[in-house]
């Protein structure tokens, strides 16, 4: 093994436990030294973020928001049992944004609400933690970045791989040249999803505020394949698997490859294995080409496959394979000698505080950044998260246009009007993402 490679690996191993952790230095100006938050979207993910946030010292879950009153009641009772205090409940996020005692909003609702709620929150002076994808389309992702800058808010994208200590270590190794110059990244999601069947339109449940649930999306009838999870597979509300789990994989691939936005994108696929009501692809292959000659290749396999989910990175001196949990191996040259393969699975967790990694670590990083006022300390800062989610939007636009598209990475526009039309949407009043935030 090259001696320089050995030194890189040794240094990264020693640094893995505490690198990149943010400490609280400056006193928070909130009442009683608390950060009071509102959580929007009380599904399983919202409930998880609410629960984890409540365990962070100095954070109080003051309110929860969901257009489904029954879900709010359930999670309010859960929070009361956990903390001894019942949070305020509101179906309309605008009422909570008017509350000057709330410091931050955690957004975990449907994709089509993410950016608008985040922009409104910034305008109301709140800090924002927004789940992936940070936007439903390319246009509104950029607008959320602009809002964060204009109102000087901490806006964290909820792609918690940025706080996974194992993945952070792998990225440091790549950046330090452990496999030489990285010229290609590939990821695969191998996750079977069953047919969702067909559901007829019906009257919305009495506890569901249907107009609020629709928000920016076109007005349309309620059916039970939308509420509460399968909205992912309809373009009006979700972004398919590419904008669901694909955001997590896309971000790490872009991070390791060291790129921003591409100059060309091509995506093919379809919905295979069954016929159902969903419209997004369950199988999709996408390629991105960069001006500097690098490539990013993405595969979604939603039916059946013998492959494993994970990332591959290819460099001038070797390659890296990494699992979704962050276990990884480095292969040098021809991989024919035992000394050419290195696994890090055992040593990576030594000395790591579990409260500084994963979802809880990502939330703590957000709250610490609010306290210090340093948005640049955010691990999932909104500019970076916009770029990663933008790649998912580009992939879906190329798929829907059935064409290989040229893209201007500086202007964030395509060479075809039909593609640019899919980079935004017609917003339903009053739920409009503004041109000027």
Q: What is the DSSP string of 376-388?
A: GG-TTBHHHHHHH
Residue 99 burial (CB < 10 Å; 0-12/13-18/19+)? middle
Classify domain 1-16+165-352+382-437 at the CATH topology level.
Dihydrodipicolinate Reductase; domain 2 (3.30.360)
Which spans in 286-409 are helix H? 358-372, 382-401
Instruction: State pLDDT tens for residues 348-373.
Output: 777 888 888 999 999 999 999 999 99
Residues 6+ apart with CB under 8 A from 342: 9, 329, 330
Which pLDDT value is given to residue 11?
Answer: 47
CA count, 13 A, side-chain hemisphere, 336: 2
Strand pairing report for 310-315 and 295-301? unpaired
Residue identified by tokens 């030194």 is: 7
User: How are the residues of the chain apportioned to helix, strand and coil, as percentages rounded to the nearest 5?
Assistant: 35, 20, 45
Please name the helix (run of DSSP H) or strand (run of DSSP E) that holds residue 131, with its range, or none: strand 127-131
| Residues carrying CATH 3.30.360.10, the chain | 1-16+165-352+382-437
How crowded is residue 409: how many other Cβ atoms within 10 Å of its Cβ?
16
Which pLDDT does position 17 carry in this prediction?
38
Nearest residue to 399 via CA among 284, 307, 236: 284
Instruction: Answer yes or no: are the C-beta atoms of 59 and 365 closer than 8 Å.
Output: no
What gap in Å lies between CA 326 and CA 319, rounded to an integer? Answer: 15
What span, in angstroms and rounded, lies between the C-alpha atoms of 364 and 55? Answer: 10
What pLDDT shows up at residue 22?
33
pLDDT, position 249? 99
Q: Which tokens is 31 given? A: 């009442």
Q: Which residues contact 343 (CB under 8 A, 6 or more apart)?
A: 327, 328, 329
- Side by side, the strands of the sheet bearing 295-301 are 341-343, 328-332, 318-322, 310-315, 182-190, 295-301, 283-289, 264-270, 405-408, 413-414
Task: Give me the pLDDT at residue 8, please.
Answer: 46
The residue among 355, 326, 329 whose CA lies nearest residue 255 is 326
**CA–CA separation, 405 vs 290, rounded Å?**
13
Name the segment(s) of the chain with CATH classification 3.40.50.720: 17-161
Give the integer Cα–Cα distance in Å for 83 and 197: 40
pLDDT at position 364: 98
Count the residues in the chain: 437
pLDDT 10s digits, 260-313:
999 999 999 999 999 999 999 999 999 999 999 999 999 999 998 889 999 999
Distance in angstroms (rounded) separating the CA atoms of residues 127 and 309: 34
Structure tokens at 396: 């879906």
pLDDT at residue 355 in the model: 82
Q: Give percent above pLDDT 90 in the chain.
A: 84
- Identify the sign of the CA torsion 415, 395, 390, 421: positive
pTM of the entire predicted model? 0.92
Q: Give the Cα-Cα-Cα angle 367, 47, 375 (nearest 5 degrees).
A: 20
Write b or e for each residue in 189-208: b if 16 or more Cβ atoms lie within 10 A of its Cβ, otherwise e: bbbebeebeeeeeeebeeeb
Question: Can you tell me which residue has the tokens 């971000």?
Answer: 251
Cβ within 8 Å of residue 376, ≥6 positions away: none
- Token digits for 257? 């490859």
Of 390, 327, 371, 272, which is closest to residue 56 (Cα–Cα)?
Answer: 371
- Residue range 68-99, pLDDT digits in tens: 999 999 999 999 999 999 999 999 999 999 99
Residues in the chain with pLDDT < 70? 1-32, 334-347
CA atoms within 13 A on the CB side of 206: 0
Q: Which CATH architecture has domain 17-161?
A: 3-Layer(aba) Sandwich (3.40)
């Amino acid at each position: 093994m090259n001696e320089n490679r050995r030194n890189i690996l040794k240094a990264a191993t020693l640094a893995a436990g505490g690198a990149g952790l943010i400490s609280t230095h400056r006193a928070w100006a909130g009442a009683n030294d608390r950060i009071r938050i509102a959580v929007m979207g009380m599904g399983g993910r919202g409930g998880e973020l609410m629960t984890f946030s409540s365990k962070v010292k100095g954070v109080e879950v003051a309110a929860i928001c969901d257009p489904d009153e029954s879900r709010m009641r359930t999670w309010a009772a859960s929070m009361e049992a956990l903390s001894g205090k019942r949070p305020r409940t509101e179906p309309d996020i605008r009422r909570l944004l008017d509350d000057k005692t709330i410091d931050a909003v955690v957004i975990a609702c449907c994709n089509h609400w993410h950016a608008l709620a985040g922009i409104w929150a910034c305008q109301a002076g709140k800090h924002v933690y927004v789940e992936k994808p940070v936007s439903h389309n390319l246009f509104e992702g950029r607008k959320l970045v602009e809002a964060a800058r204009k109102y000087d808010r901490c806006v964290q994208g909820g792609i918690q791989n940025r706080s996974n200590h194992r993945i952070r270590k792998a990225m440091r190794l790549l950046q330090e040249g452990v496999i030489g110059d990285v010229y290609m990244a590939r990821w695969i999601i191998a996750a079977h999803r069953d047919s969702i069947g067909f559901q007829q339109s019906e009257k919305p449940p009495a506890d569901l505020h249907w107009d609020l649930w629709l928000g920016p999306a076109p007005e349309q009838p309620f059916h039970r394949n939308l509420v509460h999870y399968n909205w992912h597979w309809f373009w009006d509300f979700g972004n398919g698997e590419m904008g669901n789990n694909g955001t997590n994989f896309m971000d790490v691939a872009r991070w390791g490859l060291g790129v921003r936005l591409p100059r060309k994108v091509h995506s093919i696929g379809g919905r295979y294995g069954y016929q159902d009501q969903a419209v997004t692809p369950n199988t999709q292959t996408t390629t991105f080409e960069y001006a500097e000659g690098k490539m990013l290749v993405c595969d979604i396999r939603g039916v059946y496959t013998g492959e494993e989910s994970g990332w591959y990175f290819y460099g001038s001196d070797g390659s890296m394979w990494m699992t979704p949990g962050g276990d990884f191996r480095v292969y040098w040259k021809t991989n024919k000698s035992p000394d050419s393969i290195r696994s890090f699975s055992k040593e990576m967790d030594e000395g790591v505080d579990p409260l500084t990694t994963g979802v809880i670590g990502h939330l703590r990083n957000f709250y610490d950044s609010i306290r210090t006022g340093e948005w640049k300390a955010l691990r999932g800062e909104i500019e970076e998260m916009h770029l990663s989610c933008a790649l998912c939007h580009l992939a879906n636009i190329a798929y829907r246009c059935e064409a290989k598209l040229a893209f201007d990475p500086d202007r964030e526009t395509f060479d075809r009007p039909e593609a640019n039309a899919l980079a935004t949407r017609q917003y339903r009043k009053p739920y409009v993402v503004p041109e000027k935030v």
